[in-house]
Structure 1
Amino acid sequence: MTAVTDQDHDHGHTEPTEGEDGVPEEAEPEEGSDEEHARVEADEPAPPEGEEPAESGRPGWDDGLIARRVNETAVEEQQVPAVESRASTPRTAAPLAYDGALRSRLDALRELVGLSRTRLDSRTLAEAGRVLDEASTRRRLSGRHTVVAIAGATGSGKSQLFNALAGVTISETGVRRPTTAAPIACSWSDGAAGLIDRLGIPPRLRRRPAQHTDAEGQLSGLVLVDLPDHDSAAVQHREQVDRVLDLVDAVIWVVDPEKYADAVLHERYLRPMAGHAEIMFVVLNQIDRLPGEATEQVLDDLRRLLDEDGIALGEYDEPGATVLALSALTGDGVGELRETLGQFVTERGAAARRISADVDAAGWRLRPVYATSRGAGLSEEARDEFADRLADAVGATAAGEAAERAWLRNANRACGTPWLRLWRWYQDRLEPPTGRLPLRAQADEEATARQRVEQAVRTVAERASAGLPSPWAQAVREAAVRGSQGLPEALDDLAARAGLPPGRPPRPGWWPAAVLVQASMTLLQVVGGLWLVGQIVGVMSPNLGVPVLLMVAGIIGGPLVEWGCRMAARGPARRYGSDAERRLREAAAGCGRARVLDPVAAELLRYREVREQYGKVMGVGVG
C-alpha cells in the first residue's frame, strides 16, 4: 500500500492507478491530460483491502475512491465502491412539482415570448426561452433531490470541502493547478441519474459518499457537484463552470481569506446572481490560517462585499444567502454546514426557488423592452386631430362651402327674376359651372394634399409611439407607414364619391310658391307694359295710372321676392353645405381609421397584452 504524502495545506496526494493487467502503475500523468484524474474516473471498483486480484499475485491497491465504514465495531473493514452500481435497478423518482404562483409566472413568460416573437429579435428572447426550457426539463426530473454545486477559485479548498462533506476522498486535491479538470458528482441517494445526466457528467465521474448512517439520513436527496476552478487558466474549465451553474439547484461558493474579495468572483458571478441569494451559500474556508478575531473581521468584510453586490444575507431568519466560516482541513464548522445543508435539502424547495429566481432575472433583462414610465396609447384628441388633418387634405371645408354656394345658386335660379336668370344663363354659357365639388387636378394642389396626409400620419405615429419601449415604438411607426401607402389616392377617390350627388341640390317645399309669385310679378310687368303700348298706339283708352302701377309692382316685387327667397334659402343652404362637409369628413376619417389608426391600435393592443403578461411574470400589477 503506497503511503499518502502531505504536500501542502490541502493535503494533496497522488496514488498509483491500475494498469490493464491489474498491476499498479505509478507513472505521473501530465497536467491537463485525461489520465490526471484516473483515480476518480475509474469505472471498476478496487478489490477489498488485503486481497489480491485474480489476474496477478500482487496485492490490490487502494485507489482513493473506496468509501469505508468508519464504525469498525459494527463492520470489519468492509469496503463499498464509490462509483454508483450500474447493475442496480434505478428507482423512479417523483417529478418536481411547481406551486401555483410559479406555474402562473412560467405560463405568463411562455405567453410573453409567444406574443413577442414577431416584434423582438431572437437574441433578446434567448434567455427567457432558455429559462422556459430548463424549467420544463427540471420539472420532469426528480423532485426529491437537490443538486448543489461547489464552486470556488484556485486554491480555495473547494475539493477538500467536497471530500469532507462526502466523508471520503473523492475529488483530488493538490498543489498543482488546476486540480479539478471536470465536474464530479456525489449522490446521497438513488434516483438522481436523470439530474446528473442533465449536467453532462459521465458515469465514470459519479460517486457515492461514505456510508455513514447519520450523514446519509441528514443529507438524503443531496447531489453534490465539485466544479473546476472558475478562474482556471484553461478556458474549457471556465466554460464547464458556467454551463453547470446554469443547471444546478443551489451553489456553495467557497472563498479563502486571501481571495474572498477577488473582482472576478464578484463581478462575473456573485453580482449577476444577486437575485439567486436564497439558493446560495458563501463559505469562508481555511479559517485555521486566521489568528484570533481575524475570522470575524474577514466575515464582516465579506458580508459588506456581498451587500455591495446586492446579495441579501439570510440573517435573522430572513431569506437570502447563508454565510459560514469553516476549515475543511480541521473539520471546524463543517458540521454546521452539513446541518444547514441538510435542512436546506430536506425542504425540497431549492429547485423551485432557482427557477423562480431565473424567471426574475430573465424578467429584469427584458424590462427595457416592455416597461415604460408613462401611459401609452392614442388619446381622443390625437385621433380627432388626425381626422381634421385628413379632412383638410381632402378639402372638406371647401367642399361644404361649395355645396352651400350650389344651393344658393339653385335658389336664385328658381326664384330670381327672368331678366336676372337670362343674364346668369348667358354667363353660364361663357364659363363652366362651379356649383359642383372641384377635383384637385392641378399638380401643386395634389402635392400639397399629399404632404398634408404624410404630415398627419407622421404626427399620429409619433404621438402613438411616445413613451413606448424602442421595439414597440418602431412597430407602431411601421404600422402607420404601411397604412399610409396609397392613402392620398384613396382620399382623392373618396372625395369624388362622397361629394355632392349628381344633379341639382334638392328644393324645399316653398320653392314652387316662390316661383309662382315671381311669375306673377313678371306677368304684372308684362301686362302693364302691353297696356302702355296699347295706349301709345291708340288701341286702348289713355289711362297711365293703372298700367304704370302694374309695371312698378312687378318691377319692385320681383327683386323683393328674389331677396326674400335668398334670405329664406340661407339656412337650408348652410345645412346642406354642413352635411356635405360632414359626410366628407366622416369618409376621410373612416379611411384614415381603417388604413392607419386601426393598425396602430392593433400594435398598441399587442403591447398592452405583452405588458400585462410581463406584469404577471414579475408578479406585479400593470397600470
Structure 2
Amino acid sequence: MSRHSQVRESSQLQRRLESLNTARELAEGVLPEQELQSVYDVLERAASRRSLSAEHTVVGFFGATGSGKSSLFNAVSGSELATAAARRPTTSAPLAGIWGEDGSGPLLDWLDVKERHTLPPVPGLADEHTGLVLLDLPDFDSTRVENREIVQRMVGMVDVLVWVLDPQKYADAAVHNDFLRPMASHGAVTLVVLNQVDKLSSADASAVMQSLEGILARDGLGQVRVLSASALTGDGVQTLRGAIRNVVVQREATTQRLAADVTRAATELARASGEGEARGIKGNAKARLASELSTAANVPVVVDAVQRSFKRESAKRTGWPVTRWLLRFRPDPLRRLNLGRDDTRPELSRTSLPPAGAPERARTDAAVRDFADDASTGAPGPWRAAIRGVARDGREQLPDALDQAIAGTDLKATKRPLWWVLFNTLQWLALLLAVGGLGWLGVLAVLGYFQMPVPEVPRTEGWPWPTLMVVGGVVLGIVLAISGRMLGGWAARVRASGAAKRLKAAVAAVAEQRIVEPVEVEITRLKAFNAALKAARSG
C-alpha cells in the first residue's frame, strides 16, 4: 500500500471517528448509557491504537480447547514458544512472537502482553524489519473466567484475527454466536483456518470446508478467506504464512480493523436508535398550539374584560354628568383581574384570573401532546420519546409563564381616546346650558312670587330662551350620551380585538420558548445524529 493511500485511509478513518463521536455525544440522554459506553470504548481503543506503532501489525490466534491453536502458532512462527512451558497444558496468558522489536514495547504494554519473544526471520512470513507481532491467546472456551475475559478483550484490540477451528468443533455454536457472528463487519481483517485436516480424508476435508464456508456466509462472513492447514504435517502452513504476510506488508490492517470497529459501533448505535427522521414543526401546528393555549389560559376572559372595561370607562367619560356617577358603583372588570393598572410593573405582577381547573389542564396537556406527536412523527422510538419529554417538561412551566405573559401584555387600558375629551366637554357645556336655563327660570319665578316686576325674556319662535336652554341642554346631553354609548361599544370591540391579538402573540411567544424551541432543538439533534451516523458508517 502506497504512502499516499495510507494517508488517505487514515484521514478518512479520522473523519469517521469524529463523526461517530459526534453521534455519541448527540445521543446522550436519548439512547441507553450502555450503548453509548460501548461506542466510547471503541473511540478510546482507536485513539490508543493510533497513538502506538503504526509499523507493527498484531495478529492474534484464537481457538477452542483442542483446536491445535498453539501448535499452529508454533508451526507458523517456526518456534516452540507455545509449548515450551510444560507447566501449562493449555494457554493461560497471551504470548507474543515479535519480528521487528523496535517500537513494539508500548504496543504490547497496551495489549497487556507480558511474555514476549523476539524471533528470527521465517521465510514467507517475516524478518527483523517486518513489524509483526503474533499472539497465542487463551482458549475462548476455557472454564477459567479470566481466560475468557482475556480473549474477549483481545478480540477487540488485535489488528488481525485468525480463528483456528478443528473438524470436530468447527460448527460449534459458541464460537459462531459469541465471536464470529458479532464480528461480521471485520471480514477484511479476519482469517479462518480449519486445522487438523490431516485427520480427514481429502473428500471429507473438502466437505467440511464447504460446510464451514456456508456457516460463515450465514454469519455474515461470506467474504472471509478460509484456509485449511495441519500443524502436525505442515500442510497449508506456508499458505497461512503468506496470507499473514500479505496483510502485514500492505500496512492497512490497523486502519481496516479500526474502520471495522467504527462500522460495527455505528451499526449498533443505529440499531439502538432506529431509522427515520422526525416530520418537523409545521406552521399550522404552531398556530393550533398557540390557539389552544390561549383558550386554556383564559385569554377570551381577558378580552371580554377589556371590552366591558372600555365600555364602562367610555360611559363614565361621555355619559350624562348627572347620572354617570352611578357607574362608580360598578367594579372595573379589568381591575378585578388585576389587569390594566398603570401603577405596577406588569412583568412582575400576577393576574387574578381563576386558576386552571381540570378541563383547562386537560386541554393544555392535549395541545402540547398533540403538537409533540405531530412534530415527532417518523422519528425512531427513543428520539420520539425525547421530543415528547422536552415538550412535557415545558408543559410543567406553562401555567406560571402564561399568567406572567398575560400580566405583562399592554392592554392599552389607560389610553384615552380624544373623542372622550370632546364628548365630555360638550356634556358639561350642555349641563351648564340646562342649569343656566333653570337658573334663569328660577329668577323669573322668584320675581313673580314676590309681585315684583318681571322683565320680558327673549323668545325665539315663541319659545322663551330659558326654556329653550333647559330643553336644549337636556336633549343635547341625552343625545351625546346615546351617541357616546354607541361609539363606545364600537371602540370597545376595536380595543378588545387589538388586545386579543397582543395577548395571543404573548401566548404564542411563551409556547415558542417553552414548547416549540425545545422540540426544534431535539428534532435538529436527531437530524445531526443521523447525519453523523451516516458519515461514520460510510467507508
Q: Quick check: TM above 0.5?
A: yes
Hey, what does 1:274 align to over in structure 2?
184
CA distance in 2, matches of 1:339, 1:453: 71
Hey, what does 1:147 align to over in structure 2?
58
Gaps of 5+ in 1: 1-95, 314-320
CA distance in 1, matches of 2:39, 2:379: 21
Alignment of structure 1 residues 285-364 onto 2, 5 Å:
285-313=195-223, 321-364=224-267
Work out which of the residue numbers 114, 123, 139 in structure 2 matches 1:202: 114
Report the residue type matching 1:288 in the other structure: D
Q: Quick check: 223-232 or 263-272, which moved more?
A: 223-232
1:331 Cα offset (Å): 2.4
Name the TM-score, length of structure 2 as normaliser: 0.79
CA distance in 1, matches of 2:405, 2:93: 74
Work out which of the residue numbers 490, 499, 503 in structure 2 matches 1:580: 499
Distance 1:414 1:129, change over 3 A: closer
Hey, what does 1:93 align to over in structure 2?
none
Q: Secondary structure in 2 aligned to 1:252?
A: strand
Hey, what does 1:402 align to over in structure 2?
305
1:596 Cα offset (Å): 4.1
Q: Secondary structure in 1 aligned to 2:230?
A: coil
* Deviation readout 1:42-81 (Å, 9 max, x if unpaired): xxxxxxxxxxxxxxxxxxxxxxxxxxxxxxxxxxxxxxxx
Distance 1:483 1:335, change over 3 A: same
* Deviation readout 1:104-158 (Å, 9 max, x if unpaired): 1112233444455566665332222221221122112222221111112222222
CA distance in 2, matches of 1:445, 1:246: 58
Q: RMSD between aligned alpha carbons? A: 4.2
Hey, what does 1:10 align to over in structure 2?
none
Gaps of 5+ in 2: 1-5, 339-350, 449-453
Report the residue type matching 2:306 in the other structure: A
1:513 Cα offset (Å): 6.6
Verify the 8 A CA contact 2:139 2:151 in the aligned structure 1: yes
Work out which of the residue numbers 389, 413, 416 in structure 2 matches 1:506: 416
Distance 1:608 1:249, change over 3 A: same
* Deviation readout 1:400-459 (Å, 9 max, x if unpaired): 23323344444455555x3xx645543x25432336573574766666655655554555
Work out which of the residue numbers 13, 16, 26 in structure 2 matches 1:102: 13
1:291 Cα offset (Å): 2.4
CA distance in 2, matches of 1:184, 1:323: 24
1:196 Cα offset (Å): 2.7
Alignment of structure 1 residues 115-134 onto 2, 5 Å:
115-117=26-28, 122-134=33-45
Name the TM-score, length of structure 1 as normaliser: 0.69
Q: Secondary structure in 2 aligned to 1:584?
A: helix
Distance 1:184 1:579, change over 3 A: same
1:161 Cα offset (Å): 1.8
Distance 1:263 1:176, change over 3 A: farther
> Is 2:92 aligned against 1:181?
yes
CA distance in 2, matches of 1:243, 1:194: 17
Report the residue type matching 2:94 in the other structure: P
| Identity value in percent | 34
> Is 2:283 aligned against 1:385?
no
Verify the 8 A CA contact 2:100 2:128 in the aligned structure 1: no
1:323 Cα offset (Å): 1.2
CA distance in 2, matches of 1:437, 1:395: 14
CA distance in 1, matches of 2:519, 2:276: 20
Distance 1:201 1:570, change over 3 A: same
1:270 Cα offset (Å): 0.7
Verify the 8 A CA contact 1:374 1:467 in the aligned structure 2: yes
Distance 1:270 1:329, change over 3 A: same
1:346 Cα offset (Å): 0.9
Distance 1:526 1:322, change over 3 A: same
CA distance in 2, matches of 1:609, 1:206: 48
* Deviation readout 1:314-353 (Å, 9 max, x if unpaired): xxxxxxx111223332222222222222212111111111
1:468 Cα offset (Å): 4.7
Distance 1:407 1:345, change over 3 A: same
Distance 1:175 1:530, change over 3 A: same
Distance 1:234 1:540, change over 3 A: closer
CA distance in 2, matches of 1:159, 1:348: 25
Q: Secondary structure in 2 aligned to 1:271?
A: helix
CA distance in 2, matches of 1:522, 1:486: 57
- Bigger proportion of residues as helix: 2
Hey, what does 2:345 align to over in structure 1?
none
CA distance in 1, matches of 2:266, 2:406: 50
1:593 Cα offset (Å): 3.3
Q: Secondary structure in 2 aligned to 1:261?
A: coil
* Deviation readout 1:145-201 (Å, 9 max, x if unpaired): 211111122222222222221223332299999533332221233323333333222
Verify the 8 A CA contact 2:165 2:192 in the aligned structure 1: yes
Higher relative contact order (CA 8 A, sep 6+): 2
Verify the 8 A CA contact 1:396 1:584 in the aligned structure 2: yes
